[in-house]
Each structure stands twice: as C-alpha cells, then as structure tokens.
Chain A
Amino acid sequence: MGAPRPTLAAGDKQMIDWRSLLQPHRIVLMALFAGLVIWCAVSLRWDWIPEYTPLAIEGAWRTIWILVVTTVAGFLLAIPLGLAQAVGPWYLSAPAKTFCTIIRGTPLLLQIWLLYYGLGSLFPQIPWIRGSELWPYLRQAWPYAVLALTLSYAGYEGEVMRGAFSGVNKGQLEAANAFGMPRFTMFRRIWLPQAIRNVLPTLGGETILQLKATPLVATITVVEIYSVSSRVRSDTFIVYEPLILLAVFYMIIAGIITLMFRRFENQTVQR
C-alpha cells in the first residue's frame, strides 16, 4: 500500500529539545565529557593509527558482514525452528527443541571451537572434501565462524520465534482460514508478519548481543575488528587507545541496530 502509515507518536517525540540541554547540571556534565575527550586526544598516543587504518577498515568490514550474514541466515533458520516447535509434529518439534536446547545450553566459544577444530580437522582427512571445489573455502577459518554464529543465532531466535508463532491470536488465523486462504499464503501474509511484529524489540536486543559475540571468532584466527586491536597492542604495547576506539566502534554499530529496529517498530502498529 502506498498509503502513509501512522507512526507511534512516542517514538518520534523524543527528539532532543536543545533548550533542555542548557540546564546547569547538564552543562557541567557535558563540560566534563568534553574535557575527557580532549584529554584523550591530547595525552594519549594516536600516532599508530595511520599505520593500522587499512587493517582496521578491513576488520570493521569483516565484523559487519559477519554480523549481517549470520543474523539474516540465523533468522531464516529460526523461522522453521520456531514453527516446528510451535505447531510441528513430534518428529519435527523434537529435533528442533533439541537443537535449541543444545545451542542455548553451551557457550558460543565452545561451539566455535568444536566446529573449527572438530570439523576443521576432520575435513582434511576425507579425500572427496579435500578434492572438492569447496576446499579452498573450507581450509579457511571464516566459514566455521559464520556457521557457528549462524547456528547460535538460529538457536536463540528459534526459541523466540516459537513463542512468537504461538502468541499470534488464533482468531487472526481463523479469519484467514475462513476465507479459504491457502496455508502458505496464510503463513506469509498473516502469521509470519504478526509473529515478527510481536518480537521485534527482542530481536533488536538479540542482534546487539550477536554483534558483541563476534569478537569470539578472533580466537580461530578470523581477522575482525577486535583482533585488529589485539594486534595493535601486541605490536606496539599500546593498550588503552585501541580498546577505546574499539568500544566506540561497537557502540556506533549497536546504535545503528537500535535505530533500525526502532524504525521497523514505528512502521508497525501494536494491537
């Protein structure tokens, strides 16, 4: 529909009113913060930055695409996982439930290592895999990192989607049924959109958690932004400066995720 959708007023009206910033306690806090930033800029060492900028851009880019690919793929996996648990027959719901329980019950670091050191050391022993066209990829670390993060996101979101599918009002589906809507159409047009809408805030939080899980893949030699900061530290013995920039990077990405999900939420109207 081309028609404009009414947005939730609360979300829009929270824009900053500049005059309210000019109160004494706020001015003091802002001055303190500005002082901190200036002190950081002046007294800390930043001369290493030019040398590491190309590597940092590469690492940031890798963090971002790993985040995007694993959340999208993980969510696509979470839909059947949630559906199977919500309404599936036992032979679908039992494996889905088992998968989610295992993923949620074990540390992500362990999952990454099991895939990388387990599968990663098993594959080279199997001749047809070694000979296959996928081998140039499978001998690198990132496929295992992407797989582990995808499965992890799918496990958590599968559980979220189970609740989301069950939580959709039965009358909504009954209306679709009563008008002869084929099952897949009903799923695509009614059930899935309503389920996702109900858990958008949760998904936003989970995506930020996923962002903050990405540094774990540095442990299997994937060069993303966290590993770049480690590299700076070990090369130059400069500890805090890279970590501060790293924190700023994660906060910016988390902020963007928050804003994106808030936009989604404003586009959908709560019941």
Chain B
Amino acid sequence: MTGDLSGGPVRAQTPGITKLAIMAVGGQGGGVLTGWIEKLARAQGYSVQATSVAGVAQRTGATIYYVEMAPASERPPVFALAPSAGDVDILIAAEMMEVGRAIMRGFVTPDKTTLIGSTHRALAVSEKSAPGDGIANAKEVHAAAEIAAQTLILADMERLAVAHGSNISASLFGALAASGTLPFSRAAFENTIRESGKGVGPSLQAFSAGFDATLGLNDNDTAARSSTLASVGQANPTLQWEVLRNRIDALPEPVHQMALAGLAKVVDFQDCAYGSLYLDRLEPIVALDRASDHWLLAVTAAKYIANAMAYDDIIRVADIKTRGPRFDRIRAEMSVRSDQGMQLTEYFHPRAEEISGLLPRGLGARVENSPRAMAWLNRWFGKGRRLRTDSIPAFLLLYWLGGLRSYRLKTRRHTIEVAHLDAWLHQSLAPLASNYMLSVEMLRCQRLIKGYSDTHGRGQSKFVNVMQGADLVKDRKDAAEWVARLHAAALQDPDGKALSGALETVRSFS
C-alpha cells in the first residue's frame, strides 16, 4: 500500500464539534428549545446546524431533535444529521422515560455525556391502560442514569415551568445554561428568550427556576411531604372518636398507621358507630397475628376491610360531590379567581342496579329478582344525566342523596356488601393455621373489586375467579405464590384474558 495512507492515523487538528440531542414527547415544544439553542449558538459566533423530524411522528410520540455546533471558521464544518450512540456531549430529555430511552439508545455515555433530564412523567398509553398499576419504574431509569452519564442533572423541569405559567423548554434551557456545557453566558441565554418575543416574562422565570434547580439552590424535590395521616381526626375531636383511637392505640404499633387510615375512611364513609364495627372486625384478626410475621396479616386486613366497608354507592358519591373542600380543591386546581364564575357539571349514568341497591333491603331484593321492575327502573333512571352542582336544584338533589347516610345501613346494597365481606373474610382466614401467607394473599384479592357498573361487575367476577383458583391450590405449599400470580394476572388486562390463562394452568395441575 502506498500513497498518502502510509502514515499513522491523523488526529482531528481542529476544534471539535459539540453535539446536543433533545429527546421529547411530541407536543412538548422540543422544537422551541432547539430553535433557542440554535439562535444562541449562532449569535455567539458558532456554526450550527439543527435537524428534526416533523410529521406524524410528532403526534404525541417519542421524538428527537439534534443540534451540532462548532466555532465559526473560514470553512463550514461537516455536521452529522442525527445523533450517534457514544458520541453525544449533551443529552436533554424532557421526560423521565425519555431519559431512559436516551440511555437505552446509547446516547448517554460516561466518558462524555452531560444528561439533563426532567423527572416528571408523561405516561405512555401502555402504562395508563392497565387495570392495575402499570406505571414504569422510574427508579431503574434513575439508577441507570447515575451510571451512564458523566454529569447528571435531574429535576422536575415540568413542574418548575408550569409553576411560572411557562413551558418545559424554558426550564430545560435554564438547566442547560447552568450546566456550563456550552461556553455562553447566562445573559446570552436570556437574550435568546427575549429576542423570541413570545411569552418572554414567564419563559424567563421558568428559565431561572431551571437554572437555580440545576445549581441546587432550589431543592424542593427532596422536601419531605407531610403525612396526610398526621392531621387525621384532629380538627374537631369528639369523645366517640377518642374511644376509637384508644382502641387503635391498644393494637400492636406496626398496625397503627394502616388501622388509623382505615378507621378514618369508614368513619368518613358513615359514622363513628360504623368505625366501631370496623374495629370489631379487625381486632380478632389482629389477635390471630403475631410479631414474627411483622403483623402482615393484620395490616393487610386493616387495609382491605376498610376498603370493603367503604364501598362506592350513590350515597357516597353524592356526599363527596357536595362537600365544601371539594369545591375549594376544584377552584384551586382550575385556578378560578373570585371574580370568575365556575360552572360545575357532573356526569352521572346510574343503572337500575344502583337504584335498587338504594331501596330498603327487602324491597330491593324483590325488585332485583323481578326483571320487569328492573326494566322499569332502567327506563326511569338509567340514562346519562348531567347535573350542574353549582346550581341549587342539582346541588340539593345530590345533597339530599348524600344525606341518606343515616339510612344507608338498611339498604339492599349494604346487605350485599356485608354478605360479600363476611364470605371473603371467612374464606381468606380459613387456611390461616396451615398457610399464613395464603390468607394474606386472599385478603389482598379485595383489590380486584373496583369501579362502577359493568367495570364493577367485571372486577367482581375476577375476584370470584381468583378466589376459586385459591380454593383449587389451597393444599399446595406454594398456594400463596399461585394466588399472588392469579391476582397479578387479573390486573393485567380488562377482559381477564391473562387470568383465564393462569387459571387454566392452575386447573391443569390441581
């Protein structure tokens, strides 16, 4: 081999190129941030090139913007059009899972990459649509980011921006300025925003917030959140409540928190007498438990008995919908000022079952057994209703329904719920002596019952299926694991396909 190639490899004899990639979710304004960075670099005497992909990919999907820059010179540098794995200096990710995606794609490497990410989540459809908790594990992404990035800047940039009425582009731009990865002054960054001429004030405030958060001046994220339980029942303590509290204090200490939360829930649902019933149910179960098992059974029972006792009936919904604090919360959430009006429309669609459940237990049962009566109820009540709870008539209707609490324990629905509760507790506690964990897992199955109407019906049938599955495996040593598996399968999809598959497996060996 001859010619110019005989020498050893040459080093690039020119100042290098700074490579910056932005990963965002379509609609987040990644284009705005890209535009700012490009203008900034150009104003500071750099050759710069930006690329993006427009079109369908931008409609709420993951999208990527890419900027390369180098100090301007006589000859234009040859810039690449897309980021390369292992060759990105600055990676800005406008959402936590996009941080993960950047790492996954190799754009974040320990030898060179400064990773600026927002810790907030914009959930993907797959995460949101699971009937249980399908939210991806941000901790894993965080851990990977610690390893992958040379410098790591993570904060809730979305919150910082929204707090100032701005967009995440501004807080991320601030973080970029503070990171010191680009050789431009803070003033130069801020001038770029000023020159853009759109929403300058809020953008600059969000920029500042992003800047300060990066420098660690503003460490709100780690501020301990006050426990909601600390204030439970302290507003207007009554003698009755004190009696109930004392009963909780008599329980083993590790059970306190859950039992207190449960107690508060059922008292809020009905009254202190109902709270007393809750403890009547809980205390014998606690007595069966022991410290060596970390009171797991007791804590689980405290949680799910409360949930089962505070079922979702019309009375509860109407009660919640008409409470003062709810109105205040909505006003705050929607930032309604005192000089503005707030119209509030509730979307209701009761079915015959909800109405018959509200009848006295004997009558309700008779009506439920009569298809004609149910059809009649459906004709009269079973349609979509939009109630304006800011108007007096609709408010009064709901207020009256919410006030039926004193009558609730006589309703058909209550009878059904009590029967369910008794059967579930009885079945769950049966194997306690031989298989402690099986009892715990069976108690946990109450989680499957949720929703209203058809959704509630589907939850109910899943619950029944899992409990039947539990019965099939109850004599096996690994019965608890199997019940947990069935439980998880039931939460995977709405129609119970995964559950059917899992049950099939259980039947095959039992």
Say if A and B assemble together.
Answer: no
A residues contacting B by CB (< 8 A) are none
